[in-house]
Amino acid sequence: MTAFQAPKGTYDLIPPDSAKFLAVRDAISAPLKRSGYGYIETPGFENVELFARGVGESTDIVTKEMYTLTTKGGDELALRPEGTASVLRAALEANLHKAGNLPVKLWYSGSYYRYERPQKGRYRHFSQVGAEAIGAEDPALDAELIILANDAYRSLGLSDFRILLNSLGDKECRPAYRAALQEFLRGLDLDEETRRRIDINPLRVLDDKRADVQKQLVGAPLLRDHLCEACAAYHAEVRELLTAEGVAFEDDPKLVRGLDYYTRTTFEFVHDGLGSQSAVGGGGRYDGLSEMIGGPALPSVGWALGVDRTVLALEAEGVELDIPAATSVFAVPLGDEARRVLFTKVTELRRAGIATDFSYGGRGLKGAMKSANRSGARYAVVAGERDLAEGVVQLKDLESGEQSPVALDAIVKELRARLA
């Protein structure tokens, strides 16, 4: 037992639970890999100003939740609270948008950090898989990303999630709505901090989860009633494409994502089995973000799905993932010569693509076989001096208990055939 513990609001991924997280990451990324999305990895920290400009200075993420630090050289850095701004920064820095093949389609996976009150389903360190399609304004691209996320969740066996969908308009129609919403909000009984948001970004007030605020928001003007003709047509096409592909969604005119950069299509995946922290992922279109961080106009769309939230959703539905055992074969040497010979065979088996472990520490047969059973291996390969003198090893099926001698030179071929 160490004197140290994981920081408050964080968690360690430890076997066997970590295998579930890896399986979720693989399932979410699989549809992306089949759809032209290339992998990107960015630093765990960025310049503070990147998030202040991109995420929004009025958001809780920037004002309350970012972990910031000052380097010895005086640079102001922040642990990344989300992935989109970093991915777009990296794409612009590498001039991926100048390659002439737009959109640039990227996916990523990693840990993100926000200082907030820890509770089940909401941590200060969390894991996400995200996808971004940069440089194209097309309803089909928005629909594609929603469909890929939907397919990823379905492939995991989830069924009790819902997709909420809305449009946040654009720079043409948002100003008129903003003015109407500000006029409405100024007539409410709100605290000083919330009233400041009315002037900076009134849409953020709609995202306030407090019951007393939500009660007052009944009757607030809806953005869908203020969409310009182009935004209304764009949103209608997204809806039509999703419907044509059999993807169910719910129109939510009050849906406002928590980041300032969203425009037009916005969506959220929620799972009612998670209680108040029901969101498992979400995203939307962010046509002006590139310009906010000093790049050219690059209309883009993306999403991020929470790995830990998805694991909780699987548990809420009682879904058990079919995760292969980490070890297929466990080698048990009895004596020094057997240890040398079997260690060589273990290496050979691993190079043949067979997950194999070895009994370390010179344990006796009883202790080594306990380890073999605990490892989840299907077969044990046991050898002592007499076996080696006869040129064989004992191959034991740990499920049936059957054991038979196999020629030492044929053991790799035999195991490959049995495990095929």
CATH number for position 91: 3.30.930.10
Are residues 247 and 396 both part of a single domain?
A: no
pLDDT score, position 277: 74
Residue that finishes a domain, picked among 317, 337, 357? 317
pLDDT score, position 208: 77
**Would you say residue 185 lies in a domain?**
no
pLDDT score, position 333: 95
Q: Please answer whether residues 197 and 358 qualify as being in contact, where contact means their C-beta atoms are separated by less than 8 angstroms.
A: no
Using DSSP bridges, classify how beta strands 279-285 and 300-306 pair: parallel, antiparallel or unpaired.
antiparallel
Are residues 292 and 340 both part of a single domain?
A: no
**Would you say residue 322 lies in a domain?**
no
Are residues 309 and 335 both part of a single domain?
A: no
Are residues 309 and 354 both part of a single domain?
A: no
Are residues 309 and 361 both part of a single domain?
A: no
pLDDT score, position 61: 64
Are residues 231 and 164 both part of a single domain?
A: yes
| Cα distance between residue 344 and residue 308, in whole Å | 39
Domain hosting 288: range is 17-173+227-317
The 8-class DSSP code of residue 122 comes to B
| Cα distance between residue 197 and residue 187, in whole Å | 14
pTM comes to: 0.89
pLDDT score, position 1: 67
Residue that finishes a domain, picked among 284, 317, 350? 317
Domain count, the chain: 2
**Would you say residue 181 lies in a domain?**
no
- CATH number of the domain that residue 413 is part of: 3.40.50.800
Are residues 302 and 339 both part of a single domain?
A: no
H or E stretch covering 148: helix 139-155
What three-state secondary structure class fits 245? coil
**Cβ atoms within 10 Å, residue 157:** 14
Are residues 399 and 305 both part of a single domain?
A: no
Are residues 258 and 313 both part of a single domain?
A: yes
Burial class (CB in 10 A: 0-12, 13-18, 19+), 45: middle
pLDDT score, position 78: 93
Residue that finishes a domain, picked among 317, 347, 365? 317
Tens-digit pLDDT profile for residues 6-44: 888 888 999 888 999 999 999 999 999 999 999 999 999
* pLDDT less than 50: residues of the chain: none
